[in-house]
Amino acid sequence: MLQFMLRSVVLGLVTAVVLLLAIPSLRTNIFPPSSSPESEVRGPQQISFNYAVRNAAPAVVNIYSRQYIENDRSQLQTQGLGSGVIVSERGYIITNYHVVAQADQIVVALQDGRVAAAQLVGKDRRTDIAILRVQGSNLPVIPLNPNYTPNVGDVVLAIGNPYNLGQTTTFGIISATGRSSISLDGRQAFIQTDAAINEGNSGGALVNTRGELVGINTASFQQATELETYGISFAIPYRLANKIMEKIIADGRVIRGYIGVDGQDIKSVTSRLLGNEHVGGIVVLGVDPNGPAAEAGFELQDIILTIDGKKINGRQSVMDLVTELRPGTTIEVIILRKGQEQTLHVTVSEDIR
């Protein structure tokens, strides 16, 4: 009898060991993990964007626009407030045109306490970009990543000096890209974000979670339309701001090509009828009668396929390509007219609108 009971107990223990080895979750239920005092004190893991702010914030400066007092050219008073971003060790700063448009003197304050008078290198009203330069050593430069592409849903931080409170960081996401409805000519594409941008933030940095420059903060929807709105703000994409800066540094101003056509993207149904090789073309809906395109023989309903050997991809790409062309150069434009491809030669003029 005793032998039978011992055999049963041993068999039961063996079975239990096998089950514990085969099913780990049973071990957790029987032997719950002990909680250390350290883990109880720490609690849930903290989410922080301190790394991005530490990388980017030192390069975001406060800008004070000063003007002479009327009837007294010996005295200056501060009339405007904004922000700017140091993007080069040589002291180049990108800010908004409207921040310095009326300035007789521009003063830049760095976060490390240094204050300096800034030289206005150039400005471009159409893109609302101005380029300043300050002299100094060991200037902080914001991280730049030309390969970064803004995408809807990306977390971004807006850094600037709202209402002269001192440097402030707000948080949000990219709500949309390619917004052109608030631009002067309806062509410039903005980044839309819900990170708060207030007066004084203009010209400051919109950065990603690595602290890399995404765009130049320019306006809130309320500032642009005087409507009571919240969570709708706009920034100029870094790639565009950098392109404008390079033009201003090279020429002192932005020189844009102009051929004098406007058009509309071809609908997907139409593009299928024309053939896949014509996808991305635009149909010409307007020709400036005094422009280079009219002189070259463009007609309404022509379909533009390539410009200067580059295949186009919609109306925006046409504007981008033409803008980059140097005035005085002659280019080939391949069009489709009544089902037949033709090549037109256009001499580019300068866009002085």
Catalytic residue IDs: 98, 128, 202
The one-letter amino acid at 186:
G
Token pair recorded at residue 119: 């030289």
Q: Give the CA distances from residue 82 to residues 60, 111, 146, 166, 336, in Å, rounded to whole numbers and listed in that order.
A: 11, 14, 25, 11, 48
In sequence order, what are the beta bridge partners of 219? 234
- 216 vs 234: CA distance, rounded Å: 9
- 188 vs 234: CA distance, rounded Å: 12
Token pair recorded at residue 99: 């921040």
Token pair recorded at residue 124: 């471009």
CB 222 within 8 A of CB 315: no
Q: Which of 326, 262, 327, 331 is nearest to 296 (CA)?
A: 331
Upper half-sphere CA count for residue 157 (Cβ side, 13 Å): 23
| Cα angle 303-306-308, degrees, rounded to a multiple of 5 | 135
Token pair recorded at residue 37: 């005092």
Q: Which of 81, 97, 231, 235 is nearest to 162 (CA)?
A: 81
- 72 vs 28: CA distance, rounded Å: 83
- 303 vs 340: CA distance, rounded Å: 10
- 180 vs 189: CA distance, rounded Å: 5
Burial class (CB in 10 A: 0-12, 13-18, 19+), 328: exposed
Token pair recorded at residue 108: 């830049």
Token pair recorded at residue 80: 């405007």
